[in-house]
Amino acid sequence: MSATEPAPHYEVRVAEDPADREACFAVRKDVFVAEQRVPEDIEYDAYDAEAVHVLAVRADGEALGTGRLLHGAAAAAKNGDGDPAVGSLGRLAVTASARGLGVGAALVRAVEDAARARGLTAVDLHAQTHALGFYERLGYAAYGPEFPDAGIPHRAMRRAL
């Protein structure tokens, strides 16, 4: 950000308290369940309890976006090679009104910071194919074939930290 650019009117933080976690789940419901028609029973899973959730909120408290980091055994079960030193970024969602404001990139960087804090060496993710360019601009590289997840085409991607 240059000296002439205004500071973003939102903050990104780890969702520590129940209200923040509920805000994360509400964003996911708006984006994935309502907008993308992902069945609600597969949107929320057992990984949510142990995941690190990040939340972007506007100064007035409105939730703008969320993402989560799986680490340890949960991440090893999701990433391409079962490596426990590789985290798994997932459930990245930005509300329609906040798209284009840099919220998604800020959430990815917050997840990466959380991964570094846990001693992880890389972050894997499963990107919807329309979002490959977004993640590539953030330093992620696709690997492996395209695959469906919740009926939506995805590719695996990774970035070393």
Q: Is 65 helix (H, G, I), strand (E, B) or coil?
A: strand
Average confidence (pLDDT) over 136-141:
97
Whether the per-residue pLDDT at 3 is higher than 70: the answer is no
pLDDT value for 2: 42
Average confidence (pLDDT) over 37-60:
93
Determine what percent of the chain is predicted with pLDDT higher than 90. 82
pTM above 0.75, yes or no: yes
CA 86 to chain centre: 15
Rounded Cα distance between 109 and 83, Å, is: 21
Which of 87, 84, 56 minimizes the C-alpha distance to 69? 87
